[in-house]
């Protein structure tokens, strides 16, 4: 007992870190639990709400062929209950669940290991499974965690999986943060993946929703061609084959490997007392044993050495996409590449369905290709450093009414690239990019959930202070840096060009 | 054994005294009390020169300045042969420049300051929004008022905008969801300003004079409400705005009356062919206005039916139990001045389209026939009560909410009385409004999908789809001409 109080006293000595950008402070309070889990806090006194997010250093890049999509499937299964949540009689329910798993294992082996398998045998097993599922239902409290959050005023309730991270979100009244600590720590320790098989059906429907967005299949193939070796090769949703065949055991292994406190950060933004947060975190998250250390991703993207070209037809608008490999997040060239993307591409994206004006058609591509030459409906650029391998991308849609082809836009974009290689940017363009970076930083501090997401994710890779050092890096970029990175990365052998033409079909 | 129990008891007492008791289940948690009173709109309302109404909050947390002007004007006030004018105006108010500045110069300057200036025209409101750092307040505010008051609508940018919008018409039938919502509303509202779509001809007919006339009529000081929040003092801001607005004249414009009743539709299945692997489905009919006294009971009822995400019946049945879909539920959409729509919605693979629809219809039926449970009521009502403060987290958003209340003529004590009106909803009222506002027998069941596999159905619900009602096949419109398309 005494020991426990001592631990609390230590925990209360919260480390506050102040960092400055211009005149504005990003103040993140930090606390590390004994098991390695990090607690970050950004107090914003006022309206009695607290944004509560947890991020895990795991995403689709931690998968391999055979289990692609499993980070996202796992995220869904985290809502299916624990030993105490979502179930009325765990002992009785878990017995049925084990029987279902055993039968499904037989079905999977028959169906997927053999060529088609014995249909009558599969049907007989499936009938038993259906009966067991019906029996199990008597013990299941549907979406218990979700209901608890909602009936306690939880908003922004969601979870998301990206290539690199997985996050679980809820915003609660200030007096109910303990609910989040309890339920999140409980599912970290005791998640039970009930209804695994019907949830996979839900996720296959989710994949079909993407597939029915015009151009999705082409885009998926282009990405797979661009990233040949690194695990960015597949989309977060995963290949349909893997979704069908992955087993519950795959997911349990995944959970046990990555869902450990030393691989997680919890962040709180809102109206709270940091000492109370730390005390609660010690109590709930602190009880979870530390897991083994996790090795970073091994496979990067090998040099390309020759240009790639990709052609496709389908039901989406005729378009051009050009991609270049760039270094990952944290590399010294990232800032110059970010400035280039903004200066070339700003305001040149497609117009939203409501036709919101403004936002500025100030990018070079907009001014040249959309406004002056009137060759494109839209022309934009983006730079995505990502955690392990980066991509710089140009997108443009031609003016078909003027007989312009994607290849014509490709030539124009190369001409713009060559101008940058030779002369770089103007002083005003450079200053503008720096002003925009600084203003965007100040604006990000005004948000709650957005700030939690940015700080929490940054913490998992290079620490949250990287937000500030990146801003400093941006301010130091010179025109020589711009010319140098343009010459280094914008070369044909480092590129993929994708040309898509509208035609009926998929 | 006894000693252990005592020891545990002592430990629990001690721990709870220190706030250390570790709960195993949420039902064990006890929360400290929390009282929250929403801000009072009156405390923020002010009037500037020319009768400009405004809701203004000083917020010195960060060196930012945000202002939004909400005008009473939108697509609904545009004649049929000029459909798309709202969209063109949305683009050209800024890009068309002002009397003294080219549009490009305005965009360049705002961008250089790291700010943003955006304008959009919606159904009945149009909004101009500026966000700049406090150090740029004067310059930003001057640009903001210049754009509001003196747009020039130059010929060249207008020509470019029209050409781009016409090019974009090619995409109007690409997204299954966009096709679904457009055609669903066409059946429910019939042929009027709510459903008119731009075509190549209507875009081409829009000229500088149209934009100038529309602007002159609607952009008057008596037809706007400002929402302002940021790092300034109210007195200093008033002096600046009064100066920038001086000489701006004009009363509230006479606006056309809006239709309150709509042609009756034939219930049944409406099918739109698209070669995709799911059916995108909406089923329902017209709903009610959010000024209707039944609004609060309807909100609670729909939360239980299909609006409350995973706690709702439709999600539990269609997604969680059956694994038929990722996205499903029911919604009452609200529109200012006339009834919105009620719809159940789902997207599911072709073979389960009929089955998913049958499950949603069964839920429509059940909430009409049976009282909801105590637990469902508790979850729904607690959600609204406990999440109430969420809407006031951002000072700008709060000012916007107040501006919208006044613009749409809702009572200014709307937020003050919101929770008591939710609390007053009973199980009997839920059933009553379900019977009043949900009519499965009158439902339009609209499906965008691949007809053959959808019509065939599957084991649990074999087709054909006309088991659900009379089948109507709808041909897609060629967005360029507004006429029936030659090929799908």
Tens digits of per-residue pLDDT, A201-229?
Answer: 999 999 999 999 999 999 999 999 999 99
In angstroms, the CA A98 to CA A192 distance is 11
Contact, A394 vs A337, CB < 8 A?
no
Tens-place pLDDT, residues A232-251: 999 999 999 999 999 999 99
Nearest CB to A24 within list B63, B108, B166: B63
Tens-place pLDDT, residues A282-340: 999 999 999 999 999 999 999 999 999 999 999 999 999 999 999 999 999 999 999 99
In the A/B pair of chains, how many CB contacts fall below 8 A? 266
B293, burial (CB in 10 Å: exposed 0-12, middle 13-18, buried 19+): exposed
Q: Which two tokens stand for residue A43?
A: 């107090």
In angstroms, the CA B391 to CA B54 distance is 19
The per-residue pLDDT for A13 is 35
How many CB atoms within 10 Å of residue A242? 20
Chain A residue with the nearest C-alpha to that of B488: A504
Pairing of strands B444-449, B268-273: parallel
B482, burial (CB in 10 Å: exposed 0-12, middle 13-18, buried 19+): middle
- Min distance A207 CA to chain B CA atoms (Å): 9
From the list A254, A375, A257, the residue with the least C-alpha distance to A320 is A375
Q: Report whether pLDDT(A1) > 60.
A: no
In angstroms, the CA B37 to CA B43 distance is 13
Q: Which two tokens stand for residue A254?
A: 């995944």
Residue B83 three-state SS: coil
H/E stretch holding A399 reads: none
Residue B155 three-state SS: helix
Q: Which two tokens stand for residue B207?
A: 């000229």
One DSSP character per residue, A166-197 reads EEEEEEEEGGGHHHHHHHHHHHHHH---TTHH
Q: What is the pTM of this model?
A: 0.93
Alpha-helical runs (H) found in B234-373: 234-245, 295-302, 313-314, 353-369
Verify whether the Cβ–Cβ distance A201 to B323 is below 8 Å: yes
B301 CB-side CA count, 13 A: 30
Contact, A36 vs A453, CB < 8 A?
no
Angle in degrees, CA B117, B120, A394, rounded to 5: 70
Tens-place pLDDT, residues A433-463: 999 999 999 999 999 999 999 999 999 999 9
Pairing of strands A308-314, A319-326: unpaired
Which chain A residues are closer than 8 Å to B31 by Cβ?
175-176, 178-179
Q: Which two tokens stand for residue B348?
A: 């599911």
Q: Which two tokens stand for residue A52?
A: 């509560």
Nearest CB to B277 within list A5, A44, A211: A211
One DSSP character per residue, A335-395 reads HHHHHHHHHHHTT-SPPPTT--EES---SHHIIIIIIIS--EEEEEEEEE--SS-EEEEEE
Contact, A49 vs A270, CB < 8 A?
yes
Chain B residue with the nearest C-alpha to that of A285: B22
In angstroms, the CA A146 to CA A157 distance is 8
In angstroms, the CA A327 to CA A300 distance is 10
How many CB atoms within 10 Å of residue B25? 13
Contact, B367 vs B317, CB < 8 A?
no
Q: Which of B11, B28, B31, B93 to mutate to test the interface with A (most CBs of A within 10 A)?
A: B31
In angstroms, the CA A287 to CA A340 distance is 47
Tens-place pLDDT, residues A467-488: 999 999 999 999 999 999 999 9
- Min distance A310 CA to chain B CA atoms (Å): 22
The one-character DSSP state at B326 is E
Verify whether the Cβ–Cβ distance B25 to A205 is below 8 Å: no
Helix %, strand %, coil % for chain B, to 5? Answer: 50, 20, 30
Which is it for the CA torsion B264, B266, B269, B275, positive or negative?
negative
Q: Which of B107, B176, B384, B478 to mutate to test the interface with A (most CBs of A within 10 A)?
A: B107
The per-residue pLDDT for B486 is 64
Nearest CB to A357 within list B94, B277, B326: B94
Alpha-helical runs (H) found in B370-465: 374-386, 395-407, 414-423, 427-437, 451-456
The per-residue pLDDT for A346 is 83
Q: Report whether pLDDT(A505) > 50.
A: no
Backbone torsions φ then ψ of B462, nearest 5 degrees: -70, 145
Q: What length does chain B have? A: 488
Verify whether the Cβ–Cβ distance A143 to B310 is below 8 Å: yes
Q: Which two tokens stand for residue A36?
A: 């390695």
Work out the mean pLDDT of chain A and round it to a whole number: 92
In angstroms, the CA B154 to CA A39 distance is 55
In angstroms, the CA B257 to CA B334 distance is 18
Residue A417 three-state SS: helix
Which chain B residues are closer than 8 Å to A44 by Cβ?
61
What ipTM was assigned to the predicted interfaces of this complex? 0.92
Beta strands per DSSP E along A71-177? 155-161, 166-173
What is the residue whose two structure tokens read 């005390």? A279
Q: Which residues contact A20 (CB under 8 A, 6 or more apart)?
A: A468
Q: Report whether pLDDT(A432) > 50.
A: yes
Q: Which of B94, B125, B300, B311 to mutate to test the interface with A (most CBs of A within 10 A)?
A: B311
The per-residue pLDDT for B5 is 42
The per-residue pLDDT for B20 is 58
Note down pLDDT in tens along chain B; length 488 residues: 344 444 444 444 344 434 557 899 999 999 999 999 999 999 999 999 999 999 999 999 999 999 999 999 999 999 999 999 999 999 999 999 999 999 999 999 999 999 999 999 999 999 999 999 999 999 999 999 999 999 999 999 999 999 999 999 999 999 999 999 999 999 999 998 999 999 999 999 999 999 999 999 999 999 999 999 999 999 999 999 999 999 999 888 998 888 878 999 999 999 999 999 999 999 999 999 999 999 999 999 999 999 999 999 999 999 999 999 999 999 999 999 999 999 999 999 999 999 999 999 999 999 999 999 999 999 999 999 999 999 999 999 999 999 999 999 999 999 999 999 999 999 999 999 999 999 999 999 999 999 999 999 999 999 999 999 999 999 998 999 999 876 54
Residue A160 three-state SS: strand
């Amino acid at each position: 007992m005494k020991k426990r109080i001592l631990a609390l006293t230590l925990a209360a000595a919260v480390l506050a870190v102040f960092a400055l950008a211009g005149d504005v402070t990003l103040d993140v309070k930090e606390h590390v639990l004994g098991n390695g889990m990090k607690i970050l806090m950004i107090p914003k006194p006022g309206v009695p709400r607290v944004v509560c997010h947890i991020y895990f250093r795991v995403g689709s890049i931690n998968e391999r062929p055979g289990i692609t999509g499993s980070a996202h499937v796992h995220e869904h299964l985290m809502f299916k209950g624990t030993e105490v949540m979502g179930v009325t009689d765990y002992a009785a329910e878990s017995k049925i669940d084990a029987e279902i798993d055993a039968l499904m294992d037989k079905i999977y082996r028959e169906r997927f290991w053999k060529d088609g398998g014995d249909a009558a045998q599969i049907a007989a097993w499936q009938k038993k499974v259906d009966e067991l599922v019906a029996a199990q239902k008597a013990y299941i409290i549907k979406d218990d965690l979700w209901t608890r959050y909602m009936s306690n005023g939880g908003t922004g309730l969601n979870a998301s999986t990206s290539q690199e991270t997985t996050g679980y979100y809820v915003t609660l009244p200030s007096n109910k943060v303990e609910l989040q600590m309890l339920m999140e720590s409980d599912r970290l320790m005791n998640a039970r993946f009930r209804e695994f098989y019907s949830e996979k059906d839900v996720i296959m429907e989710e994949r079909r929703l993407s597939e029915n967005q015009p151009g999705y299949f082409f885009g998926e193939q282009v990405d797979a061609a661009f990233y040949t070796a690194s695990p960015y090769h597949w989309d977060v949703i995963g290949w349909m084959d893997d979704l069908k065949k992955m087993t519950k055991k795959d997911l349990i292994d995944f959970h046990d490997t990555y869902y450990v406190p030393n691989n997680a950060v919890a962040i709180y933004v809102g109206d709270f007392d940091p000492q109370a947060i730390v005390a609660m975190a010690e109590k709930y998250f602190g009880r979870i044993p530390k897991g083994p250390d996790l090795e970073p991703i091994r496979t990067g993207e090998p040099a390309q050495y020759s240009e790639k070209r990709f052609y496709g037809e389908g039901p989406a608008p005729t378009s051009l996409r050009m991609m270049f490999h760039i270094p990952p997040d944290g590399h010294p060239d990232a800032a110059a590449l970010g400035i280039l993307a903004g200066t070339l591409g700003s305001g040149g994206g497609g117009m939203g369905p409501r036709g919101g004006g403004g936002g500025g058609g100030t990018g070079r591509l907009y001014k040249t290709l959309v406004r002056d030459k009137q060759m494109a409906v839209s022309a934009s650029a983006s730079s995505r450093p990502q955690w392990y391998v980066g991509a710089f991308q140009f997108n443009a849609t031609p003016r078909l009414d003027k007989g312009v082809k994607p290849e014509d836009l490709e030539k124009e974009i190369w001409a713009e690239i060559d101008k940058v290689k030779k002369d770089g940017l103007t002083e005003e363009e450079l200053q503008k990019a720096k002003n925009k970076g600084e203003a965007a930083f100040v604006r990000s501090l005004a948000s709650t959930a957005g700030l939690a997401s940015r700080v929490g994710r940054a913490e998992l890779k290079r620490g949250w202070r990287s937000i500030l050092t990146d801003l400093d890096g941006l301010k130091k970029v010179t025109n020589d840096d711009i010319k140098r990175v343009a010459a280094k990365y914008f070369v044909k052998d480092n590129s993929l060009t994708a040309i898509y033409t509208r035609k009926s079909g998929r | 054994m006894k000693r252990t129990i005592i020891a545990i008891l002592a430990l629990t007492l001690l721990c709870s005294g220190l706030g250390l008791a570790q709960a195993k289940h949420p039902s064990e948690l006890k929360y400290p009390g929390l009282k929250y009173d929403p801000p009072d709109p009156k405390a923020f309302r002010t009037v500037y020169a020319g009768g400009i109404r405004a809701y203004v909050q000083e917020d010195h947390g960060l060196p930012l300045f945000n202002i939004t002007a909400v005008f009473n004007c939108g697509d609904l006030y545009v004649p049929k042969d000029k459909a798309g004018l709202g969209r063109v105006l949305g683009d050209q108010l800024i890009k068309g420049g002002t009397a003294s500045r080219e549009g490009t110069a305005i965009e360049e300057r705002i961008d250089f300051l790291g700010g943003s200036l955006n304008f959009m025209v919606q159904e009945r409101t149009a909004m101009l929004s500026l966000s700049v750092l406090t150090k740029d307040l004067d310059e930003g505010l001057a640009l903001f008022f210049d754009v509001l008051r003196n747009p020039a609508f130059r010929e060249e940018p207008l020509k470019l905008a029209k050409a781009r919008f016409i090019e974009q018409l090619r995409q109007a039938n690409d997204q299954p969801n966009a096709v679904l919502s457009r055609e669903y509303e066409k059946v429910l509202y019939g042929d009027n300003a709510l459903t008119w779509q731009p075509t190549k001809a209507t875009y081409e007919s829009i000229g500088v004079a149209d934009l100038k006339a529309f602007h002159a009529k609607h952009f008057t000081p008596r037809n706007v409400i400002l929402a302002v929040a940021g790092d300034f003092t109210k007195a200093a801001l008033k002096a600046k705005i009064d100066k920038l607005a001086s000489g701006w004249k004009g009363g509230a414009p006479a606006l056309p009356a809006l239709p309150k009743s709509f042609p009756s539709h034939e219930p049944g299945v409406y099918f739109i062919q698209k070669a995709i692997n799911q059916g995108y489905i909406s089923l329902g009919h017209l709903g009610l206005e959010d000024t209707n006294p039944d609004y609060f009971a309807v909100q609670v009822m729909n939360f239980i039916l299909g609006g409350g995400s995973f706690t709702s019946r439709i999600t539990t049945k269609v997604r969680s139990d059956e694994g038929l879909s990722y996205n499903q539920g029911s919604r009452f959409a609200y529109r200012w001045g006339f009834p919105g729509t009620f719809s159940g919605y789902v997207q599911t693979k072709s073979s389960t389209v009929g089955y998913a629809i049958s499950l949603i219809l069964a839920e429509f039926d059940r909430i009409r026939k049976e009282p909801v449970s105590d637990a469902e009521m508790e979850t729904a009502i607690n959600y609204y009560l406990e999440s109430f403060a969420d809407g006031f987290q951002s000072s700008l958003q709060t000012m916007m909410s107040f501006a919208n209340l006044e613009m749409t003529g809702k009572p200014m004590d709307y937020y003050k009385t919101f929770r008591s009106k939710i609390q007053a909803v009973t199980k009997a009222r839920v059933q009553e409004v379900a019977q009043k506002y949900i009519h499965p027998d009158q439902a339009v069941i609209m499906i965008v999908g691949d007809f053959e596999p959808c019509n065939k159905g599957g084991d649990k619900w074999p087709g054909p789809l006309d088991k659900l009602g009379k089948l109507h096949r709808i041909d897609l419109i060629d967005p360029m001409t507004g006429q029936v398309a030659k090929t799908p």
